[in-house]
Amino acid sequence: MNKLRGVVAKILIIFLFSLLILSFAFWGIGDMFRGNLSEANVAEVGDKEISQSDFRRAFANEFGRLQRRFGGQLDVQTAQAIGLTNQVLSQLVNQALFDQNTREFKLQVTDEQVRAEILTFPAFLDPAGNFNRALYEQTLASSRMSEAEFVANLRADIARTQISSAMTDGVAPPKQLVDKLYRFQNETRIADYLLVKNSRFEDLALPDAAELNSFYEENKNRYMAPDYRAVTLVQLRPDGLVPDMAVSEDDLREEYQARIADYTVPERRTVRQILFPSEAEALAGLDRLTEGLSYDALAEDVTGEPAISLGTVSQDELTGDMAAVTFSLAEGEISTPVQSPFGWHLMQVTKIEKGSQKSFDQVRGQIEENLRRSKAIDATVDLANQVDDELGGGATVAEAANKFSLPIQTIASLDREGRDNKGELVDNLPQTPDFLAVAFSTAVGEQSLLVETGDGGYFMLQVTSETPASPRPFDQVETQVGDAWIKQEQARRAEELADDLAGKVDAGAALGDLAAEVGLDVQTTPALTRAASDPFPELTGSLFDAKVGAAVVASAQEGTLVAVLKEIIPANPNTDSDGVAQLREQLKQSLQGDLSTAYRQGLLDRYQVQVNPQVVDSALAQF
């Protein structure tokens, strides 16, 4: 039995060590078996791979373009949130699909085609329109792309363009389609109309209590009270601690010295300059000034333009020797030649604005207030840490507040807008949007963590009860119900009158005569297209469904419209060559887009596309 137990023990030990070794192999050197995520591809399209470096380069280019559009005020997270990742992936996948297709068609792009494309590429041309080799190399360097990579990409782009052009260049919408659509879009209609306003029926009396209550019951959802919560709130505010903070005289003077720049207005000078390409020319210009030539005349003579104004600047807004020399000049004085990376300058100071500095006594009160508040914030943080420890130890909000003598605020009703059940704003709430979010995300009977408010303060709360949303009682909303009933009745009567007038028009009466009988004015619309919204967008659709002489009724914001279609003006494409050409181009682009979309879908059906989201995230993590 002992031997048997020994054998079993050895087997178990060997088994356990085997598991341990396998786990080390899997987790420790598993990359040998599973592959390294950092070397994996972002996507595979057929047998073409989209590497992480390809994706990062494309993402960086698009991100840089967006950053320039937003004036540099765009970060990577925001770019991802607005869909840049999917856009770049889609572009790369589309390119890979077309590359697969070009290989299948065995398309060839010659070196001469690539060379001709490079020589006419707009980004590589100087202002005169000539190819600039230095500009070419600079552009590639800024894109972090070698010449070989650029040429390979360009060759692929040319091949893709050949396929795309072959597919879409010959697309042209039929003339019959263009003409028919032009007539449809540009046909206009004119109508006479009148507006029966709801306000016409102003002397309506409220119905009896039973009918009004019935209206209330039918429309209860209009008079819902929001859900309310009863909350116990404790706030830690630095404002209450400010008066108790002690600040010494040494503290005040030390802070004054540390912030002396904030209390100093530097001297500023209005400066202009004449720029020369060499020191010798600058000295020659200075000699001419010494001989009596004016500064303005010298500038005109040397540059053909007035002297360059630098505006009114402080010393730290100028660089190097220019700053020191300029601020050593007297008002009106001209400097000796000063060198900068742009050439040689003759500076002139035309005006001097003396600097100033506030004394300690002038800013003492402000410094003291700032220091007291800063210390109060620090004290609040220390207190918050102690309260947090209490809450972490299991104390309730009330227990923690009582231990540190913090005021407890009991809020009997609070809605999601910070109002009570009377519709009034609750006083003394934490001034942060987080408060209401925390109050309505904390479960009933539970308490929140300590939450920072952003102004140096904190709050914690406990939700003691909840009142679900429900219709307000009739007696609380009786006035609103009465107003709603009257508005509904006014609209009903206006619509009823409009229907009656329209019926009489269809029976042969003239709209003008009917309008005079009811005291309304008839107006005439301008020539309306199907897309017209003036004078009433609600009327346009009805007019294009009507026949000449027929009456139509349409609701409007202020009441109900009655209109009679007066004239249909057909559109003639033969008299508007520009409009027809524009429509033809729009249809052509639409058809080309449809063809491209269908072609891409065909490529997707032919070539398998696999995207690895984890690798995409890994590639983006390096930005």
**Residue holding tokens 């269908």?**
598
582: left (phi over 0), alpha (psi -120 to 50) or beta: alpha
Residues in CB range of 613: below 8 A, 6 or more apart: none
Question: What gap in Å lies between CA 192 and CA 535, rounded to an integer?
Answer: 12
Question: What gap in Å lies between CA 140 and CA 455, rounded to an integer?
Answer: 48
Question: What gap in Å lies between CA 564 and CA 585, rounded to an integer?
Answer: 36
- Residue 376: the pLDDT is 86
Rounded mean pLDDT, 390-395? 89
Contact 231, 412 (CB under 8 A): no
Sign of dihedral through CA atoms 534, 539, 545, 548? negative
Joined tokens for residue 620: 């983006």
- Residue 157: the pLDDT is 84
- Residue 25: the pLDDT is 38
Residues in CB range of 549: below 8 A, 6 or more apart: 564, 565
Q: Is the pLDDT of residue 363 over 70?
A: yes
**Residue holding tokens 């009823």?**
496
- Closest to 190 in 3D by CA, of 549, 622, 614: 549
Q: Is the pLDDT of residue 476 over 80?
A: yes
% of the chain surpassing 70 pLDDT? 93
- Residue 71: the pLDDT is 67
Q: Is the pLDDT of residue 9 over 60?
A: no
- Residue 353: the pLDDT is 92
Contact 11, 580 (CB under 8 A): no
Residues in CB range of 163: below 8 A, 6 or more apart: 98, 101, 102, 105, 107
Angle between helices 279-290 and 295-303 (to 10 degrees): 140
DSSP string, 357-421: E--HHHHHHHHHHHHHHHHHHHHHHHHHHHHHHHHHTT--HHHHHHHTT--EEEEEEE-TTSB-T
Joined tokens for residue 18: 């085997």
Tell me the sheet residues that pair with 343. 340
Q: Is the pLDDT of residue 19 over 70?
A: no
Joined tokens for residue 369: 């207030």
**Residue holding tokens 């994706």?**
55
Question: What gap in Å lies between CA 283 and CA 290, rounded to an integer?
Answer: 10
Centroid of chain to Cα 16: 57
**Can you give the length of the chain in residues?**
623
Banded model confidence at residue 72, pLDDT cuts 50, 70, 90 = low
The larger pLDDT score, comparing residue 224 to residue 143, is at 224
Angle between helices 84-105 and 577-606 (to 10 degrees): 80
Contact 599, 591 (CB under 8 A): no
Contact 93, 45 (CB under 8 A): yes
Banded model confidence at residue 53, pLDDT cuts 50, 70, 90 = confident
Banded model confidence at residue 32, pLDDT cuts 50, 70, 90 = very low
Give the range among 65-79, 212-226, 314-328, 384-398 with minimum mean pLDDT: 65-79
Tell me the sheet residues that pair with 461. 233
- Residue 548: the pLDDT is 96
Tell me the sheet residues that pair with 356. 265
Centroid of chain to Cα 85: 16
Joined tokens for residue 563: 């209109």
* Mean pLDDT score across all residues of the chain: 87
Highest-confidence segment of 7-11, 44-48, 513-517 = 513-517
43 phi and psi angles, rounded to 5 deg: -155, 160
Neighbour tally for 483: CB within 10 Å:
12
Neighbour tally for 72: CB within 10 Å:
7
Rounded mean pLDDT, 406-433? 93
Q: Is the pLDDT of residue 89 over 60?
A: yes
pLDDT tens for 527-576 read 999 999 888 888 998 999 999 999 999 999 999 999 999 999 999 999 99
**Residue holding tokens 């052509």?**
588
- Closest to 191 in 3D by CA, of 590, 605, 601, 539: 539
- Residue 469: the pLDDT is 94
- Residue 295: the pLDDT is 92
Banded model confidence at residue 39, pLDDT cuts 50, 70, 90 = low
Find the helix or strand (DSSP H, E) in which 564 lies. strand 559-569
- Predicted model pTM: 0.53
Rounded mean pLDDT, 150-172? 82
- Residue 38: the pLDDT is 53
Question: What gap in Å lies between CA 611 and CA 622, rounded to an integer?
Answer: 19
Angle between helices 147-168 and 84-105 (to 10 degrees): 80
Burial class (CB in 10 A: 0-12, 13-18, 19+), 246: exposed
Centroid of chain to Cα 136: 34
Cα separations in angstroms, 117 against 112, 120, 158, 498: 9, 5, 9, 68
pLDDT tens for 259-307 read 888 888 889 999 999 989 899 999 999 999 999 999 999 999 888 888 9
% of the chain surpassing 90 pLDDT? 48
Identity (one letter) of the amino acid at 326?
T
Burial class (CB in 10 A: 0-12, 13-18, 19+), 79: buried
Q: Is the pLDDT of residue 23 over 50?
A: no
- Residue 27: the pLDDT is 37
Question: What gap in Å lies between CA 190 and CA 84, rounded to an integer?
Answer: 48
- Residue 76: the pLDDT is 81
Question: What gap in Å lies between CA 519 and CA 200, rounded to an integer?
Answer: 10
Q: Is the pLDDT of residue 588 over 50?
A: yes
Neighbour tally for 497: CB within 10 Å:
18
Rounded mean pLDDT, 354-372? 90
- Residue 599: the pLDDT is 83
Joined tokens for residue 350: 């035309």
- Closest to 135 in 3D by CA, of 122, 124, 119: 124
